[in-house]
Amino acid sequence: MNGIILQVTGLTAGYGSIKALKSIDFYAHEGEIVGIVGPNGAGKSTLLESIAGTVAASEGRIEFAGQRIERWSVLKRRQLGLMLIPQEENIFPLMSVKKNLEVSVILSERDKRESLIEYVYEIFPILYERRKQIANTLSGGQQRMLAVGIGIASNADVMLIDEPSIGLAPKLVTKFFETLNRIREDTKKTIVLSEQNIKVLNIADRLFGLEAGEMRFNEKKENLSREIVKDLYLGLLG
Amino acid sequence: MLINGFITGLIMGGILSLPVLGVAVIYGITGIPNFAIGVIGVFGGFVTWYFISSSIGLAIAVGIVVCFIIGFVIQRVLLTPISERGGDSTLFFILTVSVGFVFEGMLRAIFPRPNISLELPRIGTINLGGFTVEGFKIIALVFAIVTLVVIRLMEEHTEIGKSWQATSQNLKLAKLVGIKTTQVFSIASGIGCALACVGAIFWGSLYNLQLSSGWDLGFMGFIVAVVGGIGNIWGGLISALIMGMVMSFSGYLIGGEWQSVILYLIVIIVLIIAPKGILGSERSL
């Protein structure tokens, strides 16, 4: 297994006096797909947003690419190679698909930008078809694809994705997860996604269980106990 | 008389459109209502007047650059940090009005004569529908239109312009993809104040500049921008032209004292019918 690229220690975060995360330890290996699973309100979004910097953590360490980043701005974390695809408001609504992608490759060198956008179109052909369409006129599923496309175009080493399958039709969900796996295979990037949909088991190398702000388990897929798998199927069925 | 009124309307609308554009650019990109830009622009106008005996071109350049820097610094040091911490419109109203008072106070302290006029060269006359108009008076409008077109072109075709658009449409995502949004905000504020300065220079050349001019230009500019759809630069231009016409014709028909009354009645009516302004806006106040 590759080395640890992202390490979170003792992370506490929340809104006011209600702590959404209570001293969480979390890590991800390079090139891994880690699924953060748990019911609504478990703190999954807060965990991802704290790592990305869009939410401030009150306590804890976040180490990424050899740096302590918990006090860093969102922009600086992104420049280091960490990016979040938020659950909502994850596109530039009034621009065309094409322009959404053009804006997102901004941190890459000029000669790489073309190929990054080409890759997004290859992964999501429908985005190519609709490249001149204004983003907020796309369907929900297409907007979700665009959001992931923006993530790919942004070319960060670690992609955090907040509940990518939420609200998608079941048939689309399987395909969507396959696509995420393909992206990992093609680009060797690390993907950390939060999910309530059990199909995340299809692609995750490891699952991190979160409930009421505390860690329940942190296991490679093949090491998950029967108890936990049963709970997952029963408790988290999206 | 109709033509005369129309031309006067164009002239007044043209001058008004510059601070209006300034407000629209700042609010459109940063979401912050800045009530100080009129005073800052007039401050720049006074700076230009101060240097005008040396060289006109240099004086204008200095005034504009000073205003750009003021706008840039105020945004960077004061407004952006507060906006990051979740400032609301009321707070920004109070903050920017206070900044305006600071600059008005500085004007009083620094410049001895509170009522000045800028001597700018006249460039000859143009023939419009049988009436001759001083070319100079139309320039403000031409300048506003050119600025607007340049901004839109930059937004469509340049990397910087696309970053502005992205920042105004989704600030959080803009940061996440690596756009330097703090810089975008500061530049937008600088440009807004520079535009207000150009407006003040034209105003000071055709009429005169006093201490109160900053508030006149600033507040009126703001209100006209809201009517056009604050944040919408085309809306701002159209609204400024309409208001210019309104001021001009009500001046001719009813008399100067009623100009303001008519103007602001129309503002109220428009906002009741269309609270987001004539052309609407990605944001409304």
More confidently predicted of B115 and A129: A129
Instruction: Write the residue in B162, B173, B176 that is nearest to A99 by C-beta.
Output: B162
Q: How far, in Å, are A88, A148, B31, B116 from residue B123 at the CA level?
A: 55, 56, 38, 21
Asked if B281 contacts B229 with a C-beta cutoff of 8 angstroms, the reply is yes
Residue A134: what are its φ and ψ, rounded to 5°?
-70, 135
Residue A158: what are its φ and ψ, rounded to 5°?
-120, 125
CB contact under 8 A, A150 and B159: no
pLDDT of residue B212: 82
Encode pLDDT of B138-172 as tens digits: 788 888 889 989 988 998 889 999 999 999 999 99
Q: How many CB pairs under 8 A join A and B?
A: 71
Contacts of B232 (CB under 8 A, 6+ apart): B24, B28, B277, B279, B280, B281, B282
What predicted TM-score, i.e. pTM, was given to this entire model? 0.89
CB contact under 8 A, B170 and A92: yes
Residue ranges in chain A whose pLDDT is less than 70: 1, 235-238
Asked if B271 contacts B24 with a C-beta cutoff of 8 angstroms, the reply is no
Tell me the shortest Cα–Cα distance from B183 to chain A, in angstroms: 12
Asked if A32 contacts A227 with a C-beta cutoff of 8 angstroms, the reply is no
The average pLDDT across B78-96 equals: 90
Q: Which residues of A touch B178 (CB under 8 A)?
A: 75, 78-79, 106-107, 154
Asked if A74 contacts B176 with a C-beta cutoff of 8 angstroms, the reply is yes
The average pLDDT across B46-56 equals: 86
Per-residue confidence band for B127, with pLDDT thresholds at 50, 70 and 90: low
Three-class secondary structure of residue A37 per DSSP: strand
Q: Which range is least confidently modeled, A167-176, B70-79, B111-120?
A: B111-120
Any chain B CB within 8 A of the CB of A166?
Answer: no
pLDDT of residue A201: 87
CB < 8 Å from B in window 62-91 of A: 73-75, 78-79, 83-86, 89-91
Separation of alpha carbons A136 and B170, rounded Å:
12
Tell me the shortest Cα–Cα distance from A49 to chain B, in angstroms: 11
Separation of alpha carbons B62 and B206, rounded Å:
20
CB < 8 Å from A in window 204-233 of B: none
Cα atoms in the 13 Å half-sphere on the side-chain side of A45: 12
CB contact under 8 A, A103 and B179: yes
Tell me the shortest Cα–Cα distance from B6 to chain A, in angstroms: 36
Instruction: Write the residue in A90, A99, A102 that is nearest to B173 by C-beta.
Output: A90
Instruction: Write the residue in B169, B173, B179 that is nearest to A106 by C-beta.
Output: B179
At the topology level, CATH places domain A1-81+195-238 in Rossmann fold (3.40.50)
CB contact under 8 A, B179 and A92: no
> Which candidate, B141, A144, B146, places its Cα nearest to that of A135?
A144
- Residue A226, H or E segment: helix A226-235
- Token couple for A85: 């695809």
In chain A, whose CA is at the least distance from the CA of B166? A92
Separation of alpha carbons B112 and B183, rounded Å:
36
> Which candidate, B1, B20, B5, places its Cα nearest to that of B250?
B5
pLDDT of residue A237: 45
Asked whether residue B87 carries a pLDDT value surpassing 50, the answer given is yes
In chain A, whose CA is at the least distance from the CA of B281? A94
- Token couple for A128: 């190519």
Amino acid at residue number B194 = A
pLDDT of residue A236: 59
Separation of alpha carbons A12 and A60, rounded Å:
6
Encode pLDDT of B240-274 as tens digits: 988 888 888 887 777 767 777 888 888 888 888 88
Tell me the shortest Cα–Cα distance from B73 to chain A, in angstroms: 20
Three-class secondary structure of residue B134 per DSSP: strand
- Token couple for B250: 């009500």
pLDDT of residue B222: 86
Per-residue confidence band for B128, with pLDDT thresholds at 50, 70 and 90: low
Residue A15: what are its φ and ψ, rounded to 5°?
-110, 105
- Token couple for B251: 């001046």
CB contact under 8 A, B172 and A86: yes
Q: Which residues of A touch B180 (CB under 8 A)?
A: 75
For chain A, what's the residue count? Answer: 238
Per-residue confidence band for B285, with pLDDT thresholds at 50, 70 and 90: very low
In chain A, whose CA is at the least distance from the CA of B168? A92
Three-class secondary structure of residue A73 per DSSP: coil
Encode pLDDT of A176-215 as tens digits: 999 999 999 999 999 999 998 888 888 999 999 998 889 9
Q: What is the mean pLDDT of chain B?
A: 86
Q: Which residues of B touch A103 (CB under 8 A)?
A: 162-163, 165-166, 174, 177, 179
Three-class secondary structure of residue A10 per DSSP: strand
pLDDT of residue A238: 38
Asked whether residue B204 carries a pLDDT value surpassing 90, the answer given is no
CB < 8 Å from B in window 93-122 of A: 93-95, 99, 102-104, 106-107
Any chain A CB within 8 A of the CB of B180?
Answer: yes
- Token couple for B266: 């129309």
Q: What is the mean pLDDT of chain A?
A: 91
Three-class secondary structure of residue B94 per DSSP: helix
- Residue B184, H or E segment: helix B181-206
DSSP A134: B
Separation of alpha carbons B217 and B211, rounded Å:
11
Cα atoms in the 13 Å half-sphere on the side-chain side of B113: 11
Domain ranges, ordered by start, for chain A? 1-81+195-238
Find tokens 């008399």 and name the residue.
B255
CB contact under 8 A, A75 and B181: yes
> Which candidate, B167, B174, B173, places its Cα nearest to that of A85?
B173
pLDDT of residue B284: 38
Any chain A CB within 8 A of the CB of B157?
Answer: no
CB contact under 8 A, A103 and B176: no
- Residue B116, H or E segment: strand B115-116
- Token couple for A218: 């942190």
Separation of alpha carbons B5 and B129, rounded Å:
12
Question: How many other CB atoms are there within 10 angstroms of residue A4's CB atom?
Answer: 13
Asked whether residue B82 carries a pLDDT value surpassing 70, the answer given is yes
From start to end of chain A, where are the E strands?
4-15, 18-29, 33-37, 59-64, 67-68, 82-85, 158-162, 190-195, 206-211, 214-220
Q: Which residues of B touch A52 (CB under 8 A)?
A: 176
